[in-house]
Amino acid sequence: MTRQNTESPASLPAAPQQLTRQHFALYRGYLNGVDEAQLHASYGDACADVRSTRRLIAVLRDTFSVLARRARDTDSAHLIRLRPGSIPDAASAESAAPTLEAFRERVDPDGVYSESELLALYCEEFPAGASPSLDRRAARNARLRRRQADALARMEANLVQDPQRDHPVDGWFEPPIAARLAAAGLVTIGDVIAKIEARRHRWYTDVPRLGPTGAQRIVDWIGLHAPALGHSLSRQALVPRRQWTAEMLSESAGNGIDVLAVAPLEALRVPAALDGSKGTNRARFSTFDTDLHAIQAWLDARSASKHTRRAYRREAERLLLWALLERRKPLSSLTEADCAEYVGAFLADPQPAARWIAKGRFERCLSGWRPFAGALSDRSRESARSILTAMCEWLVQAGYLAANPMNGLARASAPPVFDAHGRSLDLEQWWFVLASTEREVYSYVEHRDRMALLLAYSTGLRRTELSAATTDALSIGRLSGVEGPVWRLAVENGRSKDRSVLIAPSAMEMVQENLEMRGLPDALLCPDGTPLLAQARGGQAITPDGIGKLFKRIFMDAGVLLEKSTPGAGRRLAQSSTHWLRHTHSAHALKHGAGLHEVSRGLCHAVLSTTARYLLHEDAGQFLGIEG
């Protein structure tokens, strides 16, 4: 009599397309009597329960038996189907003897043995009384167990297949997972490995409908088969970017690349012949050992803010890489002719494009990173020339270079004419934008966006300064000639020119309301580091890019409203950006009688003439000594 299978055919998993060593390890553990829960923990699907492993065992039993019969290995076909416990050990001989029918149900539910074989097994396991044949039975059972293990090993040797990088994914992964990988262009296992190494920890975002859990299962599978695939995933592919150590960052960016390939400054491995230690333009008593050390010292000394440092590093990095790769010389050996060609020709068309221009946005730690997004405009080339001239001049003054090779280079473009009127809003436009954010009842986001608009207009802060503004920087006091308390916001810019700006009462009122909406106390009692402009979820500060998008959305919405009432008038609002609010603040403040020096301090301008550009043309001309 055979036991009926209570599983419906539809509920049973399909037979694996490829039999792996893990399948045989699972079934070997099953035959050895390992608990199903332990088998599931070791070999099962982490996203399913133990029933999935139980069903897989049933499928493997049928699959192994069928394949053994096809190979005319009848002995293996019988042995593979023996359940755990059907081959007893010596200790089981002393157990109470069951009925023959119960013994058949336990030992041979599929009817593999004949009556005589089954009876022989029964008599051996449950003799009529104590018998000295116990040792013989134990030896017989041990032989049977060995035969069973040998049969499984023989099948494993003939049937198992290790995955290879050129194997299609649909032969190794479940059909739904394989379909999602194929939809992303990942046809082979090698494609999947390349994607993981290129995109790192969040590679799965390029695969439709594949989340982090499914991605982790694939990564674990690749790790399990690393010897067969001939590839172990890098540490950087397994760890989120924010958890990388300095060593991992260097390994990832450099990736073992020699100097004749593009790499960021922090990963560049420069051979001694090109490191600048013997540069032809070195000062007699040089302060620094190599070009990299000199550039790092310049960045540390001259770029106090991270944004300035990023811009300075970009230009120094490009020039150094160009010198090494195109001129085959260190930066400290560049001549004026080299620099003229770099600014005049190379920056206008970085070639070869495959070496210099990225095909998309890549982090500096990724292999697809390149120093350029495309050819530079005349204005960008002029900015690069200006920065590099200042860098080389600093290196001359610091005793590293003997002469400045950038001196004497012609401007790449004329300095732009600042047009305050063309990049600011007049009073009517400003009031329209402000009115477009007014609501009878505000959601948190609507209230925060209106508050951001008032803060930017009343203070003239840059978006990076708005992003960094916290309640810690707020203070309240008195101001001569002004009734009531006056709120100020301290602003740090890293240039030893920290300042404070006044906050309009209407803006400060909204700040207090917004803090209340976030469940926070009065502005002066908030926890340290509480951002003024916070994200709706989590309460973290909005990034500078996020603030830029916030204002762009406000201007776009206002432009749509204005376009409905006055066709053509909304286009100007749609062109506005965060910096327009800074221009608008300055132009309106000066127009309403604010002092030039006061506005200049609030804007943190280095020279007064910069602020004077916000004056009306005739007023600016009088201030600068220019005839209108």
Q: What distance in Å separates the CA atoms of residue 104 and residue 126, rounded to the nearest whole number?
A: 13
| pLDDT mean over 488-500 | 71
| pLDDT mean over 21-30 | 81
Instruction: Please determine, for residue 107, whether its predicted confidence score (pLDDT) is greater than 50.
Output: yes
Asked if the structure places residue 418 within a domain, the reply is no
- In the chain the first and final C-alpha atoms are separated, in Å, by 110
Asked if the structure places residue 410 within a domain, the reply is no
Query: Model confidence over 261-309: pLDDT tens digits?
Result: 788 888 788 888 899 999 999 998 878 999 999 999 999 888 766 778 8
Listing from the earlier edge strand, what are the strands of the sheet with 474-477?
474-477, 486-491, 499-503
Report the number of distinct structural domains present in the chain.
4
Q: Are residues 450 and 388 in the same domain?
A: no
Q: Are residues 461 and 507 in the same domain?
A: yes
Q: Are residues 333 and 473 in the same domain?
A: no
Instruction: Please determine, for residue 135, whether its predicted confidence score (pLDDT) is greater than 60.
Output: no
Q: What distance in Å separates the CA atoms of residue 553 and residue 549, rounded to the nearest whole number?
A: 6
Q: Are residues 107 and 193 in the same domain?
A: no
Instruction: Please determine, for residue 473, whether its predicted confidence score (pLDDT) is greater than 50.
Output: yes
* Least confident span in 170-174, 185-189, 206-210, 452-456: 170-174
Q: Are residues 217 and 287 in the same domain?
A: no
Q: Are residues 147 and 83 in the same domain?
A: yes
Q: Are residues 127 and 197 in the same domain?
A: no
Q: What distance in Å separates the CA atoms of residue 362 and residue 441, rounded to the nearest whole number?
A: 42
Work out the pLDDT band at 242, boundaries 50, 70, 90. low
Question: What crossing angle do the helices spanning 427-436 and 444-459 adopt, rounded to 10°?
Answer: 160
Tokens of 177: 């997972």
Q: Calculate what percentage of the chain has a pLDDT beyond 70.
A: 79
Tokens of 258: 């020699």
| pLDDT mean over 228-232 | 84
Which residue range is the domain that position 383 belongs to?
255-397
Asked if the structure places residue 549 within a domain, the reply is yes
Instruction: Please determine, for residue 543, whether its predicted confidence score (pLDDT) is greater than 80.
Output: yes
Asked if the structure places residue 404 within a domain, the reply is no
Select from 159, 183, 218 the last residue of a domain. 159
**Are residues 76 and 159 in contact, defined by beta-carbon separation less than 8 angstroms?**
no
Instruction: Please determine, for residue 374, whether its predicted confidence score (pLDDT) is greater than 80.
Output: yes
- The CB-side HSE value for 622 (13 A sphere, CA atoms) comes to 4
Instruction: Please determine, for residue 118, whether its predicted confidence score (pLDDT) is greater than 60.
Output: yes
Q: What pLDDT is attached to residue 591?
A: 73
Q: Are residues 235 and 110 in the same domain?
A: no
Q: Are residues 221 and 353 in the same domain?
A: no
Residues with Cβ within 8 Å of 48's Cβ and at least 6 positions away in sequence, in order, are: none
Q: Which of 324, 498, 508, 288 is closest to 398 using CA atoms?
A: 288
Q: What pLDDT is attached to residue 256?
A: 40
Select from 96, 131, 159 the last residue of a domain. 159
Q: What pLDDT is attached to residue 136?
A: 63
Q: According to the per-residue pLDDT averaged within each range, which of 9-13, 141-145, 217-221, 360-364 is highest?
A: 217-221
Q: What distance in Å separates the CA atoms of residue 263 and residue 271, rounded to the nearest whole number?
A: 14
Query: Model confidence over 507-523: pLDDT tens digits?
Result: 999 999 999 999 999 98
Instruction: Please determine, for residue 211, whether its predicted confidence score (pLDDT) is greater than 60.
Output: yes
Asked if the structure places residue 407 within a domain, the reply is no
Q: What is the mean pLDDT of the chain?
A: 79
Instruction: Please determine, for residue 381, whether its predicted confidence score (pLDDT) is greater than 90.
Output: yes
Q: Which of 515, 513, 518, 491 is closest to 502 using CA atoms?
A: 491
Q: Which of 363, 316, 310 is closest to 494 using CA atoms?
A: 310
Q: What pLDDT is attached to residue 239?
A: 74
Question: Measured between alpha carbons, how far is residue 392 from residues 64, 274, 282, 298 in Å?
Answer: 74, 18, 12, 9
Asked if the structure places residue 492 within a domain, the reply is yes
Q: What pLDDT is attached to residue 201?
A: 77
Instruction: Please determine, for residue 590, whether its predicted confidence score (pLDDT) is greater than 70.
Output: yes
Work out the pLDDT band at 617, boundaries 50, 70, 90. very low
Q: What distance in Å separates the CA atoms of residue 552 and residue 535, rounded to the nearest whole number?
A: 16
Q: Are residues 71 and 14 in the same domain?
A: yes
Instruction: Please determine, for residue 58, whether its predicted confidence score (pLDDT) is greater than 90.
Output: no
Instruction: Please determine, for residue 130, whether its predicted confidence score (pLDDT) is greater than 50.
Output: no
Tokens of 157: 């040797």
Report the predicted TM-score, pTM, of the whole model to 2 decimal places. 0.48
The CATH code of the domain that includes 591 is 1.10.443.10
Q: Are residues 363 and 438 in the same domain?
A: no
Residues with Cβ within 8 Å of 342's Cβ and at least 6 positions away in sequence, in order, are: 319, 322, 334
Instruction: Please determine, for residue 164, whether its predicted confidence score (pLDDT) is greater than 80.
Output: yes
Question: 3-state DSSP call for residue 309?
Answer: helix
Asked if the structure places residue 143 within a domain, the reply is yes
Give the single-character DSSP code of 15: P
| pLDDT mean over 304-324 | 88
Asked if the structure places residue 551 within a domain, the reply is yes
Instruction: Please determine, for residue 313, whether its predicted confidence score (pLDDT) is greater than 90.
Output: yes
Q: Are residues 60 and 130 in the same domain?
A: yes
Tokens of 105: 């149900």
Tokens of 293: 């050390």
